[in-house]
Structure 1
Amino acid sequence: MSQASPQRLPTVLDVLTTLAEQGTAHRLDGLLTDARERGASPRQLHELEQATALAAALIDRGTESQDREATLVSLVDASRDLAEAMADSVQGTLRTATQRARRLLRADLAYLALHEAVEGPLTVVASEGDATALNIGLRITSSSGLGRAALDKGAPFSTSDYLADRSIEHTDEIDQVVRAEGIRAVVAVPFRGPGGVSGALYGAHRQVRRFTPLEIDSLSTLASLAAATIGTARRVESLGARRDELERDCAQAWGIVGTHRRMEAAYDHLLTLVHDGSPLDAIVEVAATALEGALAVRDLGGEQLAAHGELPPYTEETLTQRGFDALAAGEPVPLDDGAWIAPVTGGGDPLGTVLFLPDTPHTGQRGPRPLRVAVRAIALSLLRERSTALAEGRTRDDLFEALLAPESSALPWWQLEEQATRLGITPETPYVVVIARPEGGSLQRAAVWATSYAHRKRGLKSVREKSLALLLPGDDAAAAARAAHKELSPLLGVPVTLGAAGPQTGLPDVARLFADAQRCLTALTELGGVGSVATPQELGFLGVLLADVLSVPSYVEGILGPVLAHDEQRFTEFARTLEVYFASGSSPRRAARVLHIHPNTVARRLDRITELLGDGWQSPERTLEIQLALRLHRTRGTLLGRASRPSGRQGL
């Protein structure tokens, strides 16, 4: 028991016992009261007061940690609910957002207000927990209210007692609703989507209270998740509104009535599968059966996402080249054997390609028209997958940032590991870190790609300055970097430079791998290898060395310039001779055997090199610089893809 016995005064041991039994602050206060009533001395009371104060602080800290964990779990659940509601309707997504906001804050009331223009009025479009019919449709036409302040400033606003707060600009219209609902405490956070702030999300209590920073931050995170999901839900709903047009396309594609009815039923089935969230495999099977042929869906990196039927063994080069042709033309392009490759796009962005081989060859120039209809259904499915990734992306991004800088995380390490496990990132699985830097193009488009790519690969992503960081399951960093490069560079239409490191197990090593990959990226930049891929294993000691070198080309030119110019102009092999000479322990005779020339020829070449570099080139200091410059020159040439120039004639 945590209470002291009647025979003795409460002591520090009783405080520790109460703490071990997970007692409350009220029980700690009872120990102090007990001690005072039993006549404890001032010294005993002072020690007991200090002990109970420390114990109460530990209880508060534990309660705060539990609240943070519960909030994080609630946000993950909210992202799933929003993704599911998105498939139904925009209004259903709005309703889910307010329901989740009310549950997150344990509030009496939650509501969402959106605006049609930046300077336009706010209109309450969804509400949860309201007791009157005055809230839905309320228009906030002036600069009054917390929501308008959140919209104008782009920051959260809260008050413990709305009607009594004179710092808020009040209006009769809003105050009437507040009185009718009995609202006292209110918090409003910006509703920020990809296009900027579009409204405000509110939480309200019918008693006076203050909102904690954790409550305000969690409501802001929920608002960002909901804004991204609602934007996608609107696009999906817009695509669904074109169903009649797509059905007319089906009717025109199949001329006879019997075929039309069959394809109309198949297309209805496709749309039902998409809106029910069926896997892509099921959608492709229905499409291939209806089209009477074999069909496969590939992503932008050439990975096959789903297939049905037997397709010929096309070369990867053929599929990649013709796939880019289809994406550039915006319509199907034919292959030599009667197959077609059609582009899959959504929201103005390329999503992948569809490879289709009909059982009966098609003679048109733009591909079978039914194929276009099936491709639209496949695009809807891929858009849904991307939307799910975006809805969960914020939580996954926060986890990656915490793993990259655990010392600044608000959560202890064991909670980060638990969160990673819930998101499918197990500490026992090998992983690699890839950093990609687009050399131009739209970073926003690259960030959207990274979110979708990390979702498909069951990894994490982070956007830092002008680079994208990916944590991906796998045991080959170079292969992971090349796969990302193959997909991202064509999407952006610009070179992409990538550094990668790994593999590793154990989440504490994420930050170290990130630093290694960043050093590889820096080394590639200094070597002039823009658009290339490198890992620490490929660069060797250069990866560490080049992090501090300012300009590799100028360094090589300053050390070996005359020799390289002589080789270029006169087709000599002085640079090669120097490499072999140093590798042979500076022995002309051994170098001659490696080069398959006479020792006198080596001696004459060294004399000529002395004329080019000066008399002191064989001093220890100059020798080290020359050997380093030779190594840098050879590695840079490899990165740039230059083969050694065959010598036209042997110079001396």
Structure 2
Amino acid sequence: MTDLAIARLLSALEGGLPGDLERAVDDAGLSPDAAASARRVAATCAAAARSRLLVDTLYDTATDLAGIADPDQVLAAIAQRTRAVTGADMAYVSLNDHATGETYICQSDGVRTREYATIRMPLGTGVLGKAATGMAVVSTSDYVDDPTIVHLDPIDAIVRLEGVKSILGVPMNVQGRIQGALLIADRRQVDYPAETREIVDAIARQAAVAIDHSARLAHVTAALEELGAREDAGRARMGAMQSLLDFDRRLVEAVGARDQAGIVGLLSAVYDARVDVLSPDDDPGDPILRAAITSAVSSGLPFPVSTPGGQATICAAQVGGSHHGTVVVHTAIPVAERDALEHAAVHLGLAALIDRIEADAEQRSQYELLDDCISGRAEPGAALRARMTRHGVDPRKPLMMLAIRTSLPDALPVVRRALRAPALVAEHGGHLCALAQTAEPCARRVWAALAPADPDAQVGSSRVHGNLGDIPRAHRSADTALASLRLLGGEVLDGDTIGSLGALLEAEQAGSLPRGVRAPALPLVDYDAGHGTDLVRTAWAVLEFGPQLPAAAAALFIHPNTLRQRMHRIATLLGEGWQAGAGRLDLHLALRALMMERSRG
């Protein structure tokens, strides 16, 4: 492969364009497996780029809100960024004219014809008019031929002229006031996925805040002129309005700083009351409050409620149709003064969405790094050390590999807290894997953290010896320990202490198991296959428990007499000295290897 071909391949992987990637793969002459790996890397880069672009879009729009001067410029930027982050052919913002019952496109990006860019249509018609009513998100993959849409012939003609096939529209509203809609459109048939709907919904909420913000700014300006003659009253009202504007600005700054406590503090200062934020999983205890939260989530509006502690007002923090929490202000707030509460809830939802996007990207990055280390694809060297350092793990210090089996749904944060050390933690191979920067045994501590919620949790471990090239072996050793726990029972096992069986099983995982290891047990394997019996398990139990036949029978859930009958059959297949002869160790190892293999499967 030439340097030029390598450079083109790397550029295509980073750029993520399918056509460029396929040409670069062909030029590089990659094998089918290498080409498939290149496509997976390109897909990963593209997903990470989309996540970064969404976070940047929300931050950039928030910055515009903080220093808004020209509302039209902000709406134009929203249309441009919506198109960029979704990859749609066009994006546009409409505003409602309630006096005429119509909605009209005020800003657009990617629209080719003037007729489309200046569409004005009745509310409830088409995708645009239907979304602008605020009832729901509206989408179609074939606009002109969609029978569920209320069509107008002049509008259909404009749509045909623009060449539009697919449209997705999301309402823009603040405190129940429908201001218009944010839409994307494509000149091809597209079934918009939930991820795209969530992105457009998140940006639409910011657009709604921008419109409301600019209206309040205009109102402040008019109020200053109107109240010039009534100086004392004017000062008081001006101060209140300017305080609301400053509140909006500080909310945006708090979102940018990822400061949820700052948002709560701002809201508490506005209403001079205690403010709590309940997560969607929190049970408020009080059935009245629980019912009020349900109503607030379904309506999307602030909701008054009487709690055991007195009057309160609540508002759900929602973005993209997802409930991210509930804001509880412990005081009764008049309807006219609930703007600050709703704005704070919107910003808390946006902050939660940004946190989730970044957490997903971080977890995906950790999985890829762990997978590269475990599989041996990542060569030990400066590049691998730099990747580990970016995740807070110092590869120069001792490392411990853990393989964890647990049924706990949210085990990742539990494991991280229990490790008390920088670590890479991700699901891998049907169980959790952790590569922790620690020299002390930590498997028992991790099990103790999981056990209260999952008593059947099990943890296998192994130290990483020498350099990072030992990580694949350490993972095999920890995985072997976990398989042994599943077979023999127990909670925690160090794979480095299993001994000769562990070495054989690690060699098997590495693809270098010597031939003939299972040979002593093959007569039993063949007999079981032909007769539907389980002599392999029977022989294993007898050798595990030694002369204690009742214990072996109990482990097999059979009567001791039945066990003796099976032992007689085994003796006819292996010879009378199978329990104590010279080949006993070889047979025992073969049986253990077979049983361990079953436990993994």
Q: Does TM, normalized by the shorter one, top 0.5? A: no
Normalising by the smaller structure, the TM-score range is 0.3 to 0.5
Compute the TM-score of the two structures, normalised by the length of structure 2: 0.40
